[in-house]
Amino acid sequence: MAMKTGGFTLVELVVTIGILAIVAAVAAPRFFQASTFQSRGFYDKSAAVIRLAQKTAIAWRRPVFVCVTAAQVSAGTASGCGVTLTYPVNGAAAAENSPPGVTLNAVEFSFDGLGRPSAGANIVFTSTIAGDPARQITVAAETGYVLAN
């Protein structure tokens, strides 16, 4: 009676190691390049600033302004965002600075007391970081819906 032994053949092990090597060679550089993660984080935080501005305008029933420069997204209670809003949880200023390699198109708009924007806005994130995809945030002119893809 022959006894079956469990295990892998040499061919199976070589193929598995080869596949792992290919995956590691493709994926590893993305994990060691922090700039793409910083870019995505800035994009998400920028969308959060815009949404905070809209929600604050509705809660306070008064205009709240969003100011986008080439290197910053901020929200404030006056035109030009001179008086910056603060995050309710930690009290930090509702302003996010872009990481190196990311620039924005300058735009300024406001939300009225009903959360409607003064004008539709399209904020384009231009990145010179290798492998970083094109991103944009769109604020719908009629509803103020903030679409961050």
- For every one of its 149 residues, what pLDDT tens digit does the chain have, with 9 covering 90 and above? 666 777 889 999 999 999 999 988 887 766 667 788 899 999 999 999 999 999 999 999 999 999 999 999 999 998 888 888 998 899 999 999 999 999 999 999 999 999 999 999 999 999 998 888 889 999 999 999 999 97
Q: How far apart are CA 53 and CA 73, in angstroms?
A: 11
Residue 111 belongs to what domain range? 35-148
Residue-wise burial string across 36-68, b where 16 or more C-beta atoms lie within 10 A, e elsewhere = bebbbebbeebbbbbbbbbebbbeeeeebbbbb
Number of structural domains the chain divides into: 1
Longest pairwise C-alpha distance within the chain: 88
Task: Please check whether residue 123 lies inside any domain of the structure.
Answer: yes
DSSP classification of residue 20: H
Task: Please check whether residue 105 lies inside any domain of the structure.
Answer: yes
Task: Please check whether residue 93 lies inside any domain of the structure.
Answer: yes
CATH number at residue 70: 3.55.40.10
Contact residues for 134 (Cβ-Cβ < 8 A; gap 6+) = 124, 125, 126, 127
